[in-house]
């Protein structure tokens, strides 16, 4: 009966082929949503590792994580340098990395930090940053590029770049103070790849002749003279903090949140990411529900196609009955036919998702920082595929039941 079901489906390959394509596209949508959801979470989770606290001005924990780690959005306020020093020199603190954000380069974020950033920062499973070329910045007006910045803009070592004020691509340029590229980092699959790294002193030097986000009229301090000024930062955007003992994390968090110098906020990265996923959980469930609905529509189309073809197949089924096939055999053939079409559509959908992942991965990484892995289905995806095939089998029971009820006399009797 299974072989007969396959031959019967092949004889009506045009009609069932369209249904198969619809099922394949529906499965592709369902698996794509699931894969992007899982890989997006993994990409966000692996963006920073080994950091006990993220410190910034008092705001929401999710917002603090977004601009401090993912360089998305803007800070509500800055931290005074003295406050950062008080935290960095606390007895419980092992290391602290200052972060200064607010400038950009052709749409990429510019991060002002210390040279320790390249030795202390970790991502993924506590992996260190590696240089593909060059070395860290050592002085003012030197820059280290993330891999995507260098690749996307075609930069090489010793190239000169200029930064823009603000996060937009159309912000005013600091054209009188170019930077020399001293290093290019290896790919990490994190926001580091889309960041231009400079020293804190460079950020101060850029804005010596700026006030309130605009250049001072008639004032221009050439880059050759910035060394005559005190370039120590007066404030920063945020800080990443590592503690000597993880057991001190809540005590240190309380110290920062109750700091009397200014209102500050310290968040645990894992807790803030959980809040982020809770805030987007409704969107995830909605997308999965829409995808599942599309799959159900495709399977309903399969059942409708098989039912509509029963009237044309009455004589075929009657001949099978006359040749000795029982009602159960006819039922099995119709059910197996629908299950085979569903399974073929699911397998085609898996193939489309696998190919599409490879094609869409560079675009998703560039646009959204999501590392989309090209892999075979596993775990949850296999469960979804099994659910689709099982639902297709259930949908095929209806035409199978209708064929089972057709009698031999009904198939052989001419209809007026």
> Which of 255, 229, 259 shows the shortest CA–CA distance to 243?
255
The region of weakest confidence among 87-96, 145-154, 306-315, 407-416 is 407-416
Extract the tokens encoding 169: 């691509």
Looking at residue 408, its pLDDT comes to: 47
- The pLDDT assigned to 411 comes to 47
How far from 179 is each of 101, 171, 191, 203, CA to CA, in Å? Answer: 17, 17, 21, 11
| 3-state secondary structure (DSSP) of residue 377 | coil
Cα(233)–Cα(218) distance, integer angstroms? 24
Higher pLDDT: 406 or 224? It is 224
Q: What is the mean pLDDT of residues 240-250?
A: 92
Query: Do residues 345 and 389 touch, judged by C-beta distance below 8 A?
Result: no
pTM of the model: 0.70
pLDDT at 169: 61
Query: Is 227:140 a contact under the CB 8 Å cutoff?
Result: yes
What value, to the nearest 5°, has the Cα angle with vertex 252 and ends 246 and 254? 130
- What is the pLDDT at residue 371? 62
Contact 243, 53 (CB under 8 A): yes
Predicted pLDDT at 349: 87
Model confidence pLDDT, tens digit, residues 323-345 = 566 565 666 777 777 788 888 88
Mean pLDDT to the nearest integer, 25-39: 83
What band does 14 get if pLDDT is binned at 50, 70 and 90? Answer: low
Confirm if 234 and 81 have CB atoms less than 8 A apart: yes
CB atoms within 10 A of CB 256: 20
Q: Is the pLDDT of residue 254 over 70?
A: yes
pLDDT above 70 as % of the chain? 79
> Which pair of structure tokens corresponds to residue 123?
């991502």
Give the DSSP H or E segment for 147. helix 147-153
Residue corresponding to tokens 């210390």: 114
**Tens digits of residue pLDDT in 352-385:** 888 887 777 676 665 555 666 666 677 778 888 8
Out of 72-81, 131-140, 293-302, 378-387, the most confident range is 131-140
pLDDT digit string (tens) for 257-310?
999 989 999 999 888 888 877 777 777 788 778 888 888 887 887 777 766 665
Q: Please give the backbone phi and psi of residue 136, each rounded to the nearest 5 degrees, phi first.
A: -65, 160
pLDDT at 8: 65
**Is the pLDDT at 205 greater than 70, yes or no?**
yes
Which residues touch 289 (CB under 8 Å, ≥6 apart)?
none
pLDDT, residue 325, reads: 61
Q: Is the pLDDT of residue 407 over 70?
A: no
Mean pLDDT calculated for residue range 54-65 = 89
First to last CA, the chain: 31
The structure tokens listed for 37 are 């959801």
Across the chain, what does the average pLDDT equal?
A: 81
The band of 321, judged by pLDDT with boundaries at 50, 70 and 90, is low
Q: What integer pLDDT is reported at residue 416 of this predicted model?
A: 47
Is the pLDDT assigned to residue 12 strictly greater than 70? Answer: no
**pLDDT tens digits, 106-129:** 889 999 999 999 999 998 878 899
| Distance, CA of 170 to CA of 206 (rounded, Å) | 17
Coil, strand or helix: which one is 253? helix
| pLDDT at residue number 158 | 93
* pLDDT (mean) for 192-203: 93
């Amino acid at each position: 009966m299974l072989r007969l079901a396959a031959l019967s489906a092949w004889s009506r390959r045009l009609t069932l082929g369209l249904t198969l394509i619809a099922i394949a596209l529906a499965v592709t949508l369902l698996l794509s949503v699931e894969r992007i959801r899982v890989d997006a979470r993994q990409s966000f989770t692996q963006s920073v590792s080994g950091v006990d606290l993220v410190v910034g001005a008092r705001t929401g924990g999710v917002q603090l994580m977004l601009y401090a780690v993912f360089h998305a959005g803007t800070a509500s306020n800055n931290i005074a340098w003295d406050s950062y020093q008080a935290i960095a020199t606390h007895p419980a603190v092992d290391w602290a990395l200052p972060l200064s954000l607010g400038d950009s380069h052709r749409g990429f974020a510019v991060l002002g930090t210390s040279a320790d950033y390249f030795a202390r920062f970790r991502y993924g499973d506590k992996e260190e940053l590696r240089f593909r070329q060059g070395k860290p910045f050592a002085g003012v007006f030197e820059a280290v590029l993330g891999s995507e910045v260098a690749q996307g803009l075609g930069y090489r070592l010793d190239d000169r770049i200029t930064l823009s004020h603000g996060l937009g691509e159309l912000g005013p340029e600091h054209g009188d103070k170019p930077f020399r590229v001293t290093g290019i980092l290896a790919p990490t699959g994190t926001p580091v790849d889309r960041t231009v790294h400079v020293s804190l002193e460079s950020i101060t030097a850029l804005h010596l002749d700026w006030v309130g986000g605009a250049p001072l009229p008639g004032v221009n301090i050439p880059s050759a003279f910035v060394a005559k000024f005190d370039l120590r930062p007066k404030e920063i955007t945020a800080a990443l903090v590592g503690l000597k003992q993880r057991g001190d994390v809540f005590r240190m968090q309380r110290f920062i949140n109750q700091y009397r110098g200014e209102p500050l906020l310290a968040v645990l990265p894992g807790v803030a990411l959980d809040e982020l996923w809770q805030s987007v959980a409704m969107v995830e469930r909605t997308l999965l529900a829409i995808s599942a609905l599309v799959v159900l529509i495709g399977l309903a189309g399969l059942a409708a196609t098989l039912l509509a073809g029963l009237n044309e197949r009455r004589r075929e089924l009657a001949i099978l009955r006359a040749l000795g096939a029982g009602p159960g055999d006819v039922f099995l053939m119709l059910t197996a036919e629908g299950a085979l079409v569903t399974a073929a559509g699911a397998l085609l959908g898996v193939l489309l998702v696998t190919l599409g992942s490879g094609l869409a991965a560079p675009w998703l990484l560039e646009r959204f920082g999501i590392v989309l892995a090209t892999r075979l289905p596993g775990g949850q995806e296999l469960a979804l595929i099994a659910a689709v095939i099982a639902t297709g089998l259930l949908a095929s029971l209806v035409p199978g039941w209708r064929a089972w009820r057709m009698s031999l006399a009904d198939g052989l009797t001419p209809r007026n």
